Chain A
Amino acid sequence: MEQAGVGDRWRPPRGRHRLPPEVVARSQRERLLEAAIRVVAAKGYGPMTVGDLTKEAGVSRTTFYELFEDKEACFLAAYDNAVDALVRRVTRAYESEDAWPDRAAAGLAALLETLAEEPALAKLSLVDIGNAGPAAQRRYRAAIQRLTPLFEEGRDFAPGGRNLPANTSRMAIGGVTGLLSDELVAGRAERLPALLSDVLFATLVPYIGPDAAAREVDRLKR
């Protein structure tokens, strides 16, 4: 994916112009949200200051405080924004297929590709979120919940799926995030797409068992 640097982004012309104020504000807000992801990735949430954000986004301090209460509010909005885009992309990929294993494979492939393309976002969403306090942690759990249907459909697909424990999707998600975090903590986001087979196995296995899961992974690899 082509990624626009800060310099390439459209900005409202300086000085007198006739853009409606809400358009200017929206662009400034977006720049701040993007800046928050980059700054947190570069220096971590704790040391990040409002000054870093305004500098990176090219907006004034006054503007910042018109848009956000503090750095946490800006960060949480950035996080929501990024997760929203991620979940939309995964859902689109997932809904393009029919059978559950194929749907899961498509959704997981989209997830891994997005995370590999945007290592800053990947590390932020899965690894550094704990640094940003309890509100951010709750946001993270909520984001994960939104991906639950991708897993939970396995219940209808699997013979005897009704008898599986209520927590089955949380287990599958835990297995997947365990695999991803291991790479992300080691700073190897670019290697995530290579994990697709393992991640798919981890998703399928609680529902259909290791034999069927291995068969599906083989079939989908081809």
Chain B
Amino acid sequence: MIYIRNGSTLAGPMAGSETRRQQILEAMVRVVGRKGYKATSVADVIEEASTSRTTFYKHFEDKHDCFLAAYDMAVERILGEVIANCSSEQSWLDRVRVGLSTIVELFALDPELARTAIVEVAAAGADARQRHWNAINKFTEFLEDGEELAGGRELPDNIALMAAGAVSGLIFDELLTGRAERLPSLLPDLLFAMLVPYIGPGAATAEMRRAATG
């Protein structure tokens, strides 16, 4: 579990409350990842977080409200890991490879996080799906520089969204059959899916082979 900790504020009573809130969000990610959003109740979440109903409702209006906050936290965490592993000195290709590999490794180690972030968010109502698309758009900002690599070609405005759709579609399929731990073996295909709109199948296949052997 990764909590955002700030040593200077942890001592005060508000900090305790913030930690509680984080624990509830973490519990929501766990329970939804295991049982699915529909089947998850507030009772499950407070049991998982070892907290009281009163504390839960002090922080959140209801299960849905808590889920949205938990989803945002999950996205922040995934994006945070990706950013931590990438550096501006890397080429665009390297950043794409490192970014994708970070995501699949994280998901393989934490299938509950993966299911909550990719599959269950679809079951949590229209505003949750809206956030999901916003999150995907946030990840696609990472891809924007790919246009340079495309060598001055006129590419569709939506190209990053296509690439992200292809990647999230493959991950979604794999998770739907409950095989989060197999995601890293999908990395070459994911890389191909991400690169092909920019550099074409020949060059994308070469990158895919490189990823498979390296």
Contact = CB atoms under 8 A, between A and B. Distances in A.
Interface of A: 44, 46, 127-131, 133-134, 137-138, 141, 158, 160, 163-168, 170-179, 181-182, 185-186, 195, 197-198, 201-202, 205-211, 214
B63 interface: no
B201 A178 contact: no
Category for how many chain B residues contact A: 35 or more
B176 A137 contact: yes
A19 B186 CA distance: 57
B162 A210 contact: no
Contact of B193 (A138, A141, A176, A206): A206
Contacts of B188: 165
A171 B169 contact: yes
Contact of A206 (B154, B158, B173, B201): B201
B196 A173 contact: no
A173 B161 contact: no
A164 B205 contact: yes
A99 B73 CA distance: 48
Nearest to A123: B126
Is chain A's binding surface mostly helix, strand, loop or mixed? helix
B165 interface: yes
Contact of A214 (B153, B173, B198): B153
A178 B202 contact: no
A176 B165 contact: yes
Contacts of A130: 119, 122-123, 129
Contacts of A168: 192
A197 B156 contact: yes
Contacts of A170: 166, 169-170, 173
- Among B126, B197, B198, B201, the most chain A Cβ lie within 10 Å of the Cβ of B201
A127 B156 CA distance: 24
Given A131-B122, A141-B176, A211-B200, 17 more contacts: A46-B38, A137-B122, A163-B205, A165-B208, A171-B166, A171-B169, A171-B170, A171-B193, A177-B169, A195-B158, A197-B156, A201-B159, A201-B197, A206-B197, A210-B150, A210-B199, A214-B153
